[in-house]
A and B are shown apart, each in its own frame.
Chain A
């Protein structure tokens, strides 16, 4: 059974700190990995995706992928109170499952001033 697991948190960090969000997945054949941000009462907003081992940076966000360990993470540098939200990790298996996303339960992040 394909599973995506995240620590539900809540994760609390002070403003300006680095927030580290982690995700593991069970399907070793998974090909692409996504991080979404969801504010309360809103729909998920794509932050970034990654499909190659290593790091991918976009502004204050860095996604890290380690396929051997079946682990993907999201780092948020210089965290701001506006980053307070639920962060969802999603995985796509590719192949005949192209486009289909399996989501983790989400990690609640609180950035306090």
Chain B
């Protein structure tokens, strides 16, 4: 399975600022995704990070709030823009490889917005 790393692992940010989270995979992968896990909740898909093109967002998530880049097959970034305390969550990157069904997750980024 691919090994996924994320930076930063955690951060505390002020309201109104933005944070960019990086996701790095140790091998080329087919699909990359970004999920959010709010406190005490399960995971919710934010978007699919498409290589070389605009991300595909799920209902309730918009590009202006969560811009995503994926410049190559091993790297993606998620920016949380104009943050409010409601954005305090764990943000997780995941990936699938080839035609495999298995989807593996990075360690997550724990974000606290004051």
* Minimal Cβ-Cβ distance residue in A for B92: A43
A13: min CB distance to chain B, Å: 22
Complex Cα distance, B40 from A105, in Å, reads 9
Complex Cα distance, B101 from A101, in Å, reads 11
For A102, the chain B residues whose CB sits under 8 A away are 45
- Give the size of the chain B interface in residues (CB under 8 angstroms): 22
Answer whether residue A61 sits at the interface, using C-beta atoms and an 8 A cutoff.
Answer: no
Total A-B contacts with CB atoms under 8 angstroms apart: 50
Q: Are B107 and A42 in contact (CB under 8 A)?
A: yes
Can you list 10 A-B contacts (CB < 8 A)? A34-B101, A43-B90, A43-B106, A43-B107, A43-B108, A45-B105, A88-B42, A100-B48, A103-B43, A105-B41
> Residues of B with Cβ closer than 8 Å to A?
1, 30-31, 33, 41-45, 48, 58, 90, 92, 96, 101-108
